[in-house]
Structure 1
Amino acid sequence: MAVPSSDVEIKEQLTKNREMNHSILVNPNLGHPRILNLDKNLNKNHFQTNLLFISDIDNLDEFGHSLKTQLSLKPILEYKWKLKYEKKKIKRIKRIWYRIKNFFSRKKKKKWKKLFSEKKPDYDYYLKNLNFISKKQLKKLKSRALRGDEVFPKILNIIRASTNSIKNPAYLEDEYCYPQDYLLKYNVFDSLNHFYSINIEFKITKEISDYLKSHNFIMFDIVHKNDLEKTRINHHALVISKNNWRNFKFIQITDLHLAERNDMMYGIIKHWIKTLRRKYIKLFKKRVSKKNQNKNDNNFLDLTHRIDLSFKKRLINPNNMFRKFIKSVNKKVLQNKIEFVIVTGDIVDFTILSELPTKFQNMFEYEFTNWNTFKNIILNKSKRKRIGIIKGEELLCPIFTLLGNHDYRPWHYDLNWGKLYKKMGLKKKEAEILTSKFKPFPIKSILKSNSALKGYLSDICPNLDFSLKLGKNLLILLNTGSDSYKNLKDFIMGLPSVTGIKEKQIRYLENLVNYNKIQEGTNFLLFLHGPPINPKQKLKMLSRIKRWCSKEKMTDLDDFKESKIINSGKTLSKARIDNKFNLRLGTISSNWEKIMKFCSDFCNLTLCGHTHTLNEFRIENINRKNVKSSIRPYLLDKDVSLLKIYYDDYSEIYKTYKEIENHNSFIVQTPSLGLRSYKGGGRIGAYREIEIKKNKLHSFRVKYLHK
């Protein structure tokens, strides 16, 4: 998105936003899509679902009247599939005429082949010239998203919807249509304050049915046009899937740290290098004799050229890493290998765009935030061309989003703080150049604000906490909150604690167990940003001295890996880390005991981010098997005395579902997709691929993109 260059343009955009819709579709949305199930035989062609709207219209009948003929669903097809589909249609309709026409149009065909090799025509041009496209030429085309023919749903029923807390069991009936009070408290939709739940029915077209014959799912944009002829699109908001959820794969990514600033860094530093080069060439011309001038100039040019190449190889642009990830996952989606992606926080590095003039730095409108940057990368709609930015693609699968502590930070920060520039492959001088360009606020940059979530809640995902029931798999996404200042040392070192889990979230977890009629053998997968466990890499100084005195040299965390201890002939108790290390470095700071209890009692796997590090832990709970069959209601307590915690590379060690089942529960930290670890060095572009096979957790390995 192009940032407005003048105060007038910014004010015009704000006025335009306020004049937008009388009614807005709240849920489902891009980061919280609704999945509708379809059997593999495609026997069903009529679907019903509920949508949540917010409006300034108080009268139910008036609101219902305003919605007529304003809703539509746009299916998202794959580009090459659509061309092949249209080509087959032409062949069926005009078999004989097609052959005759082809015979007399060889010159045109040759001309088109030449054009094909020289230009990259758009979809409409390909469609008009389908007669002249060969199968080989179709294969050469890149896969991308393409909108199909609109589907117009029928409105069956409209009722008022009132705000409901997640601690209320009624919330579990339909998490999409029970709005949360923070949507009004944070003024997410400005003056709009009346919620409505709408039941719609729609019929899928033959084109959609044919698409589902070769694809596991199809996504839809939900398009809403209001009386003012303004259009709001909730992208990728609806999904029809034919997966029975017994066998499937999905991906967890975390700590993307997206920002418009990231795409500007390469150009700024490259310009600085060029300026530096010119400056020193002038100095050489003044100080060096004419005989040696050319030689010295060439040496200097070689040196600056090497600096430039070094910078290009070193720089880590988190936005580019996300673009690369989308390209990588799209290939797997088209092979029916991936069903969806879950992002566990730190989606953006900070909220408000760095480019905005200082007096507008307190605005939280979606258009002027990095939430727009996030959506534009997913939809491949970035319009500004900048050097150093790779070409992107639109994401071809659903994405579910969860907040992290950075998502609460409104303002950009100094990259020199805590040597954060190292995580981006920068050197100190380069970070200083960027600081002089963006001029971060020293105090404001470490503050947090719920206002920073406005663009996220309005245009990405209106739910801070939610769950997905997919067959016998319950996926729970819990918000661990903003930065916590309880441990200032951790915060200053760049690994702050997060505020943690609130009491209403604890009640929500209990309700999921007590009221959700969970079947025997349900897989619990919990997704958090802040990890429950994060030990320091070394024992405390006093403990290290005691061990050295007793000739026990194991002091590092890696020395206590479960496999190492067992292979050395020692007992399993020696591998326990809960009685040796501080496990709460930069973790959740409230309700820690209760969340640990829930993980050990129910969760097969808990997936986190935040630390930018690959760490995997195993919890052994003596009472785990008894808890699932215990008398209801289930209540979480703070008793973690029976828990034993171990550390190792479990996702690499356990390669079958039986091994995983015999040793769970696991709590794992996935490294950052966008940045290096806090330790520095190591591989970048991490993501975790989770596989469910025959209703069992089969694997949860970490993989990496090539930079």
Structure 2
Amino acid sequence: MNKNNNNSIIHGHTYIVNPNLGHPIILDIKSELKKNRYQTSLLFATDMVEPVEFEKHIKNKITFVPILEERWKLKSLLSKLKVDKKEKKSFKKKIKRSKHAEKSLFRELKPLAFRGAHISTKILQIDKAEIRQINDPNFDEYLSPQKYLNTHHVYRYSDIFYKVTIEFELTKEILKFLKHRNFIMFDIIDETHEEPRINYHALVISKQKWKNFSFVQATDLHVARRNDKIYEIIKKWKKVFRGDYLDALLKDQEQEGKQEKKKLFRPLEAHKPLKKRFINPNNQFRRFIKMINKKVLKNEIDFIALTGDLIDFSILSKIPKELRLFDYDHSNWKVFKNIVLNLPQKKRKGMKGGEELLCPIFTIPGNHDYRPFHYDIRWAGMYRKMGLKAFEALALNDKLVALPISAIIKSEKSLIGYWSEINPSLDYFLKLGKSNFIFLNTGSDSFKNISDFLTGHPSLTGLKNKQISYLENLISNKIQQGDNTFLFLHGPVINPKKKIGLFKRIKQKFGKKILTRIDEFKESMLKKLGKQISNIRIDKKFNVKYGTVSSNWEKLVEFCKDHCVLTMTGHTHTLKEFRLGNPENKKSLVLDAPPFSLKKIVNPAAIFYDTYSEIFTNAKDIKQFGPFVVQTPALGLGGYRSPRLVGAYREIKVKHGKLSSFKVNYMHREYYKIL
């Protein structure tokens, strides 16, 4: 099977809309692996009005392909060869290795994916699928097409949707694989095209009972093709410009460093060579995939939630204007997908080798995913997040020049490649056992809170009224008492400024000691000092709505407080963790959108701050002191203050049906020293 998917959308064809790579459907395995016939439903887009014509067109053209793994194949082969004693003796003599050497081979062997035999499908029923808004009580996360798919012609003029129920049977090969693995993924192949169109990793069959399981949240990947070009560009530039010219640039850099605000940026490890300093977000993602694959082989993970800023911007940095049409082939969405699938890419200096991800992913977009055009990495000192020096960032200017105005443009069209190739759903719900998983889109950059944007912490547009109605419908119809509800967002729900505002500092000036920084308000520290609970709350002292979601903020906070055990966000590239309590009769107020609006809105929760994932490490304490709202540091890029604080992910564990751990880990041990 050819993995190079032809993604050009041609009028007159059908397209499988849902499920897809970033929104797979999970089916539970039937008891004891005996009943191996399954049914599922797929959402199609087409231009065929008549269901009979459509059915004829797709009949015998939809197949499933299981994704297997080389280590399992080799282990199965070795087991088969060892059945017969003579074969066993001959085999050992031939390869000349001990049992210890055999184990060593398995450790060194990369977890490579390969495709099994195609599985044919049988069409059971075809029905028209109506466009439904998410606030419609009859909305279906997989089978209700969204209006934006037609508005933006994601499937060109295939704007008629069908729900197709199909049946398929598991092969002996798959059943053998499931004896060793917790789940198996499938590609869904649409052979109605000249070159088959593939929805990769779109179907999952799992053995999980969803009482004891683990998943990982990672955020802010910032994948872009230019990331793989930067190291090579700088190295070539340094070879060309040597001697006096480079010395002059270094002097300019020193002068620039003096003028920069020292309080904003920490000094780089200037003595290290570029190879050890440069942080390539694409390489971070490749390393992450390799790490996750090792967990998959040990049955230690069930899925991944990627919470926004999957790419840095949509359209490739250096392409002719006539190709800037938001199509998938000329977008960073293709780069993202190629890394996930480890499809062939042009090899450049500094690029790490990859592997195909062997774990299902669920995705939501972030504000960067709405940005069409690239930005100059010198702006606001962005180059420091990548471990670069000022003069090295200058080397990129001629090759990857950016316009200030275009760099802050936002457009829904930037998501066309995302909708067509990765995930057609912006908001969706998933129920696995007694655990609920809610994925919500917090939108693009918001200029409503302009002060947040100008200080480098842009707010996001937030939740629309229909999203709030969607949450209300979930409360009424799907969320049950005793459930674990996990909420995933890109934009933070709570984000205090680093310091208390000026007026509040003046108000406290007569105290014995003025606490002004957020890190001085950790709950565990203040309790040891004997502070009352009302004095430990940070919402009474800090602006907790700094660079957060703009619209419906208070309703979102209330939902997190009343219905969630854990809310996971990203966006800030920092580690911050909060717990929510009942404010009783002492609710605080926050400014809605300063400086243009001085309207104050009521905060419905008492908010406390600490590193709770390190403090509460068992289900009993987590239940007693929760719920929690957390920000996970970025996988792809560090923060301004800690550019080396990168490669983060949060591992969530559920034991006996209860949340028992939600710690942050880092891919490299050296990053722990920064914390």
TM over 0.5: yes
**Corresponding residue of 1:524:** 485
**Residues 584 and 101 from structure 1, CA distance in 2 versus in 1: closer, same or farther, beyond 3 angstroms?**
closer
SS in 2 for 1:75: strand
**Corresponding residue of 1:248:** 213
- Shift in Å at residue 41 of structure 1? 2.6
CA contact (8 A) 2:554 2:604 kept: no
Alignment of 1:337 with 2:300, yes or no, is: yes
Residues 20-39 of structure 1: per-residue CA shift (max 9 Å, x gap): 76101110000000000015
SS in 2 for 1:443: helix
The separation in 1 between residues aligned to 2:569 and 2:246, in whole angstroms, is 51
- Shift in Å at residue 541 of structure 1? 1.4
Larger Rg: 1
- Shift in Å at residue 202 of structure 1? 0.7
**Corresponding residue of 1:571:** 532
Alignment of 1:604 with 2:600, yes or no, is: no
CA contact (8 A) 1:248 1:691 kept: yes
SS in 2 for 1:17: coil
The separation in 2 between residues aligned to 1:564 and 1:142, in whole angstroms, is 46
List runs of 5+ in structure 1 lacking aligned partners: 1-12, 117-132, 284-305, 624-637
Alignment of 1:210 with 2:176, yes or no, is: yes
Q: 2:35 aligns with which of 25, 29, 44?
A: 44
**Residues 643 and 192 from structure 1, CA distance in 2 versus in 1: closer, same or farther, beyond 3 angstroms?**
same
The separation in 2 between residues aligned to 1:463 and 1:608, in whole angstroms, is 18
**Corresponding residue of 1:155:** 123
Alignment of 1:693 with 2:659, yes or no, is: no
SS in 1 for 2:398: helix
CA contact (8 A) 1:422 1:680 kept: no
- Shift in Å at residue 568 of structure 1? 0.6
SS in 2 for 1:564: helix
Identify which range, 335-344 or 376-385, moves more after superposition: 376-385
Residues 401-422 of structure 1: per-residue CA shift (max 9 Å, x gap): 0010000000001111111111
**Residues 41 and 622 from structure 1, CA distance in 2 versus in 1: closer, same or farther, beyond 3 angstroms?**
farther
Identify which range, 487-496 or 562-571, moves more after superposition: 487-496
Residue correspondence of structure 1 range 265-414 to structure 2 within 5 A: 265-277=230-242, 310-360=273-323, 362-414=324-376
**Residues 63 and 424 from structure 1, CA distance in 2 versus in 1: closer, same or farther, beyond 3 angstroms?**
same
- Shift in Å at residue 571 of structure 1? 1.2
**Residues 140 and 669 from structure 1, CA distance in 2 versus in 1: closer, same or farther, beyond 3 angstroms?**
closer
The percent of aligned pairs where both chains have the same amino acid is 50
Q: 2:229 aligns with which of 242, 249, 264?
A: 264
**Corresponding residue of 2:132:** 164
**Residues 18 and 239 from structure 1, CA distance in 2 versus in 1: closer, same or farther, beyond 3 angstroms?**
closer
TM-score of the aligned structures, taking structure 2 as reference length: 0.89
**Residues 276 and 333 from structure 1, CA distance in 2 versus in 1: closer, same or farther, beyond 3 angstroms?**
same
Amino acid of the residue matched to residue 344 of structure 1?
T
Q: 2:634 aligns with which of 662, 672, 687?
A: 672
| Structure number having the greater helix percentage | 1
Q: 2:142 aligns with which of 171, 176, 180?
A: 176
Alignment of 1:34 with 2:25, yes or no, is: yes
Residues 576-628 of structure 1: per-residue CA shift (max 9 Å, x gap): 111111111110110011111111111111100011110011110268xxxxx
Amino acid of the residue matched to residue 210 of structure 2?
W
The separation in 2 between residues aligned to 1:313 and 1:21, in whole angstroms, is 51
**Residues 559 and 175 from structure 1, CA distance in 2 versus in 1: closer, same or farther, beyond 3 angstroms?**
same
TM-score of the aligned structures, taking structure 1 as reference length: 0.85
Identify which range, 642-651 or 328-337, moves more after superposition: 642-651
Structure 1 segments, 4+ long, off by >3 Å, are 18-21, 86-92, 95-103, 133-140, 277-283, 306-309, 638-642
The separation in 2 between residues aligned to 1:315 and 1:414, in whole angstroms, is 16
Residues 228-275 of structure 1: per-residue CA shift (max 9 Å, x gap): 532101000000000000010100000000000000000000111111
The separation in 2 between residues aligned to 1:586 and 1:346, in whole angstroms, is 15
Amino acid of the residue matched to residue 236 of structure 2?
H
Amino acid of the residue matched to residue 32 of structure 1?
H
**Corresponding residue of 2:499:** 538
CA contact (8 A) 2:341 2:355 kept: yes
Q: 2:151 aligns with which of 163, 173, 185?
A: 185
- Shift in Å at residue 313 of structure 1? 1.3
Amino acid of the residue matched to residue 338 of structure 1?
I
Amino acid of the residue matched to residue 609 of structure 1?
G
Residues 487-535 of structure 1: per-residue CA shift (max 9 Å, x gap): 222212221100000011001000001122x332101111111111100
List runs of 5+ in structure 2 lacking aligned partners: 249-268, 585-599, 671-675
Residue correspondence of structure 1 range 633-644 to structure 2 within 5 A: 643-644=605-606
Amino acid of the residue matched to residue 581 of structure 2?
E
The separation in 2 between residues aligned to 1:321 and 1:140, in whole angstroms, is 21
Amino acid of the residue matched to residue 30 of structure 1?
L
The separation in 1 between residues aligned to 2:219 and 2:88, in whole angstroms, is 54
CA contact (8 A) 1:40 1:243 kept: no
- Shift in Å at residue 424 of structure 1? 0.9
- Shift in Å at residue 100 of structure 1? 10
- Shift in Å at residue 187 of structure 1? 1.1
**Corresponding residue of 1:233:** 198
The separation in 2 between residues aligned to 1:639 and 1:586, in whole angstroms, is 16
Residue correspondence of structure 1 range 579-594 to structure 2 within 5 A: 579-594=540-555
- Shift in Å at residue 698 of structure 1? 0.5
**Residues 611 and 70 from structure 1, CA distance in 2 versus in 1: closer, same or farther, beyond 3 angstroms?**
same
**Corresponding residue of 2:436:** 474
Amino acid of the residue matched to residue 349 of structure 1?
D
**Residues 89 and 348 from structure 1, CA distance in 2 versus in 1: closer, same or farther, beyond 3 angstroms?**
same
Alignment of 1:500 with 2:500, yes or no, is: no
Identify which range, 449-458 or 426-435, moves more after superposition: 426-435
- Shift in Å at residue 458 of structure 1? 0.3
**Residues 609 and 96 from structure 1, CA distance in 2 versus in 1: closer, same or farther, beyond 3 angstroms?**
closer
**Corresponding residue of 1:201:** 167
**Residues 664 and 138 from structure 1, CA distance in 2 versus in 1: closer, same or farther, beyond 3 angstroms?**
closer
**Corresponding residue of 1:615:** 576
Amino acid of the residue matched to residue 257 of structure 1?
H
